Structure formats: C-alpha cells, structure tokens
Structure 1
Amino acid sequence: MTTTTTTSPGLAAVAAGFSRRRFLVLGGAGLALAACGGGNSAPGTPGAPDTGSGGASYGGPAVTIAFWNGFTGGDGDVIKKIVSEFNAQATNVKVEMNIYQWADFFTKLPAAVSTGKGPDVACMHIDDIPTNAARNIITPIDQVAAALNLQESDFSSAVWQGGTYKGQRFGIPLDIHPLALYWNKDVLDKAGLDAEKPPMTRSDYESVLAELKGKGTQGFWVSPFQFTGAFTYMSLLWQFGGDAFDAGVTKATFDSPEAVEALTWLTSMVDQGYSPKNVGQDADYIAFKNSKNAFNWNGIWQINDLKAQDKISWGVGPVPQIGSQQGVWGNSHQFVQLRQTRPDQNKVDATRYFINWVSQKSAEWATSGKIPAKLSVAESPEFKALKEEYSLAPEAQYVHFPPATAGIGDALTELYTAVNNAVLGKASPQQALSDGAKKATSILQDNLKKYGA
C-alpha cells in the first residue's frame, strides 16, 4: 500500500480526524495531487457501458485505484491497516491511499476530478454528499448497494437516507459518529458525588452542576464554537422538539420557540457560573483532561485519545436528556465513487469490490472510535467487546444528521454563528437565532436556484 498523509496542528482535528472545514483554514504543507494511477488495463472510453457489477467480486485485469479520505487522527492508523489487509488478499487490485486534512480534501477534490486527476473512491461526511452529487463530482452507487443486498432496515433510517440525493444513492454508509457525554470520575469523586452514575436527566444534571459549583468547580464548560458547542446545541434543539430546517429544507427554523428554549438553557450554564465565559477552542476538552471540569459533550472520536492518557479516570455514555425527548447530533462517513473524465470500467468494478470488502470490516473500523452503520454489526460480539464505543450504540436509534440537501453547509454556518454569538453574550438567544435563521433561509432559497429543488 502507498499512503501519503498531510497533517497540521490543532487538538480537535488531530484527536478526531474530523472536520472543521467550514470554520478553519488549516495550515501545513500541501500534497501534490495523486493521479488515479495506472494498473495494467487499457484506459476506458467516455460513455462506455457500465457492466452493472456491484462489487461482490472482481475478476478483471490488474488495476491500481486511488482512495482519498481525511482520516488524519487515530482513525488514520485503522484505515491504513484495513487497506493493507485488502491489498494483501486482493490478487489483481492495488489501493493507493492519500490522507488529507478534511479542509484540504474538499479544496483539492473538485479541481482534481474536473482535470481527470481525482481518486476513484473516497470517504466523505453525510452532509457533503448532496453538494458533491449536485456538482457532478461523485456518481450514483446503487449497484453496490444492490450487490451487498443493503436495505434501509439494515441501518437507522437517518444514516441510510443521508446517502441519497434526488432519489439516487451516492453513499454507502460506513459508520456513525455521534456526540457523547464524557465524565471525569476524579472530579466527581473529589466532590463526593457518584462517579459511576453520571446524571442523565435535566434535574439531575443541574443538581450535580450546582453541587460542583458550591465546591469551587465549574463542571460544564460551554464551547461557543462548532466543535463542539454548536453540536451540543443541535442535540438540545432536537431534544426540545425543534429542528434546524423545515421538512422541505426551504426555510431555517432554528429560531422557533423550541430552538430558543434549547439555546437559552445552554447559555444559562454560563449565566449561572457552571461554565466560564469566553471558552476558547478546545479549552473545554483540555480542561476536562486536566480535571478542571467534570463533563464534556464531545464526539465518540475522543475515546481513543482518552484511552491513550493515564492522568484521569473517566467514563463515557449517551448525552443526557435535557429536553422532552432523546436526541443527539451525529454524522456518518460514507463511501463514494468519483466521476471520471475517461471512465475505465475495470477500475469502476475494482472500486466497487474495494467498497464491498471494507464495508464488511466495519467492526474493525469501529476501533477508531465509531459505531458501525449496519445494525447487525453494531450488535456483533466484536463490537460489543469495544466497551466504550458499544455504550454509545443506543444513540444510533435517535441520532440526527444534517439534511441531505445540496449547499446545506453554508446554511448551517449561520446556525454555528448564532450559537457563537449567544454563548459569548453578544446577543440574546432569541436575537442570535432570529438573525441567523433569516440569513440561512436566504441561503436556502439561493441554493434552490443554484442546485434545483
């Protein structure tokens, strides 16, 4: 296997292998674009008929396919191992993998595809699929789903529907990575609280925070940033019965009474002194690891980072239910196939075979801090043996993902900005959300013209 990785500093980006692509411009040396790469087969011709292969097997000539992703954190080591295993068993398919920071990945991908130098296969997040499908950067992948005999009942409905755009499937689900509650057992023990039984209801959560405050600890630091304050807010938004957008994703609704109630509760954590003001990027997580706070709402991807340290004793589980119903923010990595200017059907078939093969390794992939997307794998002995990850499996039943709508990221940025303004005290929750929703609705209307309904 040939693997190239580019990295740049940043705690959450390193620990998570995840994306701040709409908030940060990540530094570091760039990678030269990798060509789709060789093999022994003759180049295909544009418009060549599709064989209809879904990837159950591959019997064509030897080919080399390019695989791009943004797994720069601990998940990078896991995907390298899986790709090495694939290359060791595949007799006529070789995978060459490039790993980029997610921001660099999405900067390079459109230009690479348009010039015929893009990869054959990639992984991207569920909210990136519609935009890339609308821009003709990725291609439908229905044959793979059919060959794997995948059906909606094999997954949570949200993760399955998230891989579609305008009635066609563009993504094969690999995982779910939701927000989780982490608790610092040392801080709770020191305060005389039960470190083995974290608060899971609003009343219990607020009671514990009040006790911690009384003993000099601000127990729940609220981040004003997308990672992970905005994700915390979105979890609360759904818990309080609201939603970010209307059913047709034509209007932002994150200024509804339920939405305001959710953000008012979050900002009250600062107002009541349970959180410091002006928490810096990643400061909430750093404070947690230094026993300066008790609770951190963060991604499942932090499990391996916490396992690697020995400074604190900690626990992890589903986020508390603060509102009237369960709800949690999440996202999903999904496999996609890239448009080729000169399609080589052998490579197309080999790519489908690779996706098929890796999809069956989702329990191994879960060791990188993920929940397998397929329900049967999430209940397998292999996944159950991953104690911390398995504790979050119930969240797969009520996780929410961004809508499968082209250009949704631009509208979500206005939500993130509204949360930032409210948490930092620059505007009331009502005003921040109202201003943000107006801008987001305008963006959604522009997107309808740009991408179509």
Structure 2
Amino acid sequence: MTDLLRTTLGAAAIAGLAATSLSAQETVVWWDFLGGGDGVRMKQLIEDFNAAHQSEIAVDATTLEWGVPFYTKVQTSVAVGEAPDIMTYHASRIPLAVDQNLLSEITPEDWATMGLGQGDYAEATWDAVSVDGKQYAVPLDTHPIVLYYNKDLLAAAGRLNDDGTPMGMDSREGFTQTLQALKDSGVTFPLGSVTADGTFMFRTIYSLVGQQDGELMTDGEFLAGDNAEKLTNALGVLAEWTEAGLQSTYTDYPATVALFTSGEAAMMINGVWEVPTMVDLEKDGKLFSWGAVELPVIFDHASTYADSHAFAIPNGNDMSPEKRAAVLEVMGWISQNSLFWATAGHIPAYGPVTQSDEYAKMEPNATYSSLTSNMIFDPKTPLAGVAGPIYDVMSTYFVPTLNGEMDPAEAVEEIKAELNDL
C-alpha cells in the first residue's frame, strides 16, 4: 500500500468518524416564555447544558411572548405538527392542556431515565403536574408570593424582631398592629399591593382563603358550602386595610415595586421573582436593608398560593427514541443543576437542590423556602391557570372591592354566580 493510499484512506476514515459524530448529535427545539431576569438565567443554563453536551445534544431555544399568546401558539403548533420538542409550561395550565390533548405523558420509564422521581418533589408540586394519576410535566420551580419588608422602617416603628423579621406575623391582630405602627411612624403606605390588578391580587386572596382551609372549587362547583364565606373573609380583611389607609390603592405592578424600593411602602406582597431586583439595587448601594418572608398568618394557619414553571413535551411530534432521550436529558440535567435558577428568586422544585448547603446560604430564598410545605395551587380545572377565565371573572370584582368601592359579600355573590355559569 502506498503512502498516498494510506493517507487517503486515513483521511476518509477520519471524515467518516466526523460524519458519524455529527449525525449522532440531537438538536432539541425549545420554546419558553421567560423574559427579564428569568430569561437571562435560563439562557445561561442552556449555554451550560450545550457546553456540557457538545457533539451530543444541542438545545435550539426561542423565547416567545408570555401568557395567552404563548399558549395559543402551542395549541396551533400541535395541531399542524410543528410543535417544539420541549417547552416551558405553567403547572396551573396543565389541566387545560390535557383537556386539549396538547401534552405527552411523562411516563414512569421517562422519570427513571432522567434519574428523578416523586420523592424528589414536594407533594403539592408533584400533584400540580398530574392529571388522573399521570404526570405531564417536570417541575422546575415553585414561584410563590412573599412579603418583602424594609428593616429600617420596621425598626424605626418598633416592629422588628431580634432576628430581623417583622413582628406580628402569626395573627391578623398582630400584623394589623404592625401596619398601624408603621403608619403612625409616618410611613406613607405600610403595605404596597398590586390593587389595580385583580388577576395579580388573586394570589394574595387565594392564599388567605387557603389559610381557612377554603376551596375555590369542590366537585365541579365553585365556592360550594362555606367557601363563599371564606372568600368574603379574605376580601374583607384586605378591604379593611384599605379603608384604614394601611394599604396602597389602585396601584399597578410597576408602581407597587417603585413604592417599596423608594421607601414609601414599608412592606410589599409580590412574587419571589422580584428578589433579583432587590439584590441588584442593594449591590449598587441604592436600597435599604431588606428581607423577604412567608406571608403572615391572618387566619388559621400558614398557606401561600404558588405556581410552577415546568418542562413539558408537546403531543404531535413524530419523535424518535433518540430525540426523546435527548429531551429527557435536557429536563433532567437542568432540574439537577437548578441552583443557579434560584438566583431568580424561585424555589427549585428538585428537592436535593433546596436541601443542599449551597442553597442554605442563599438569602432570602432559604428563609422563605419553608412555605413549600404550606403552598396551594390552582384548582384542577381547564378553567383555571395563568390567563384563564377564572382569573378574568374574579379580577373584575376584586379591584373595586380591594379599593373600597364594593362590599366584599356582594362581590363574592357576583363571583360565585359568574364562575358557576362558566
């Protein structure tokens, strides 16, 4: 054999190996709805995944508009056979998606392949992505609402505990005393709430209903039994705070954040996703000493509304076993490496991450993560979920009630009638 032939054959062999390697790489088409700080962090996680799986799996990611536009596009894409291989999904939207036959079941074999299982998740989180005993998504996080607070203003009002947390967190009377003490000390708004947006305030109101063991839906009926009374109680206490000047009125989302960060509001109820805002401002020397804790117990026991970002696989794709294996690797790897996702304020759903020493050092995350044992999700109905019709109906009546223009009992009567008409 001549040297030229050896060289030619060697080059051909190398080219063949390269072709085999390239053909073995699976490209996973990804859709998400993650903007802002969430989007930045998820893009970094995807970059990290791709770097760790070079020549094996490549995630090709696209970010779409949050809310109704995203879910409408998913529905259309499944119908025409052009869905992505993996997508982010809200746990609250899963009953509707299953009803529309949009999601592929995550089977017990899939969970075993990912190295994940029910024992890795809080019971409520696992249940939130299941319908009729089948799992339809892999939870990435829980993103509840929490109480942000200004330690300096609370200290000045004499309502800061030695451990740096607000006083009066264990009762309606105690928390109202804290709000009143802040007002008496000259604070403009003791509590900042997004009272101009009933859809957002659903989170707070539903938490207070949960503190009374209330249910929005029971056996297909809305506000059955004494649940209407419990919703009235929840609206009533918020309306009382408004009437007493203890809570901001007709405040939209950006204004609520601005009131808190400027010091005009001493406390704020908002999502954990605002933690990066506070961290960045504090780092730049533009914020007071602050903290975030689980919501106060206004009624019988702790309870906090939450939703989950999750990973789902759309129906309708003719997915090869190799492609599905790649998709499962993406979901499993990001779940097991979700500590960085916690820097967005979210509580990682994968238990070993939140039980790690690294997570225990993350504040205020580690402080409020205890609420995972008290959290409640939307009722399991196709009418619930982000941007769903339940939100539309209730928000219509929440805004005037929270701002002192409608009686809570009257509002609940109208809400119950309209929800059951759905």
State the TM-score bracket (shorter-chain normalisation): 0.7 to 0.9
Q: Deviation string for 1:193-250 (max 9, x for gaps)?
A: 427230212222111211222233230133322464221111111113322111x343
Q: Distance in 1 between matches of 2:158 and 2:131?
A: 52
Match of 1:354 in 2: 330
With structure 2 as the length reference, what TM-score do the two structures score?
A: 0.85
Q: Deviation string for 1:177-196 (max 9, x for gaps)?
A: 11111001232244354272
Match of 1:28 in 2: none
Contact 1:180 1:392 (8 Å CA) reproduced: yes
Deviation at 1:123, TM superposition (A): 1.1
**1:145-224 equivalent positions in 2, closer than 5 A:** 145-148=111-114, 150-194=116-160, 196-199=164-167, 200-201=169-170, 202-217=172-187, 218-224=189-195
Q: Distance in 2 between matches of 1:88 and 1:285?
A: 36
Q: Please point out which of 33, 43, 66 is paired with 1:70.
A: 33
Deviation at 1:403, TM superposition (A): 2.2
Asked if residue 306 in structure 1 is aligned to residue 285 in structure 2, the reply is no
Deviation at 1:144, TM superposition (A): 2.1
Of 384-393 and 344-353, more deviation after overlay is shown by: 344-353
Structure 2, unmatched stretches of 5+, are 1-18
**1:33-182 equivalent positions in 2, closer than 5 A:** 61-90=24-53, 91-103=55-67, 104-142=69-107, 143-148=109-114, 150-182=116-148
Q: Please point out which of 297, 300, 303 is paired with 1:321.
A: 297
Structure 2 residue matching 1:296: 3-state secondary structure: strand
Match of 2:221 in 1: 250
Q: Distance in 1 between matches of 2:134 and 2:203?
A: 28
Q: Distance in 2 between matches of 1:357 and 1:277?
A: 44
Deviation at 1:332, TM superposition (A): 0.7
Asked if residue 438 in structure 1 is aligned to residue 417 in structure 2, the reply is yes
Give the aligned residue type for 1:438. A
Deviation at 1:86, TM superposition (A): 1.2
Q: Distance in 1 between matches of 2:142 and 2:165?
A: 25
**1:233-248 equivalent positions in 2, closer than 5 A:** 233-246=205-218, 248=219
Contact 1:237 1:263 (8 Å CA) reproduced: no
Q: Distance in 2 between matches of 1:60 and 1:373?
A: 34
Q: Distance in 2 between matches of 1:282 and 1:227?
A: 15
Q: Which has the higher helix share?
A: 2
Of 209-218 and 177-186, more deviation after overlay is shown by: 209-218
Q: Please point out which of 411, 417, 430 is paired with 2:396.
A: 417
When Rg is computed on C-alpha atoms for both structures, the one with the higher figure is 2
Deviation at 1:255, TM superposition (A): 5.3
Give the aligned residue type for 2:273. W
Match of 1:34 in 2: none
Runs of 4+ in 1 over 4 A off after TM superposition: none
Q: Deviation string for 1:340-359 (max 9, x for gaps)?
A: 34333332221112112112
Structure 1, unmatched stretches of 5+, are 1-39, 42-58, 444-453
Contact 2:87 2:311 (8 Å CA) reproduced: yes
Contact 1:121 1:336 (8 Å CA) reproduced: yes
Match of 1:399 in 2: 375
Q: Deviation string for 1:27-54 (max 9, x for gaps)?
A: xxxxxxxxxxxxx99xxxxxxxxxxxxx
Q: How many residues align?
A: 386
Distance 1:249 1:61, change over 3 A: farther
Contact 2:243 2:404 (8 Å CA) reproduced: no
Contact 1:164 1:404 (8 Å CA) reproduced: no
Structure 2 residue matching 1:66: 3-state secondary structure: strand
Match of 1:373 in 2: 349
With structure 1 as the length reference, what TM-score do the two structures score?
A: 0.80
Q: Distance in 2 between matches of 1:251 and 1:99?
A: 35
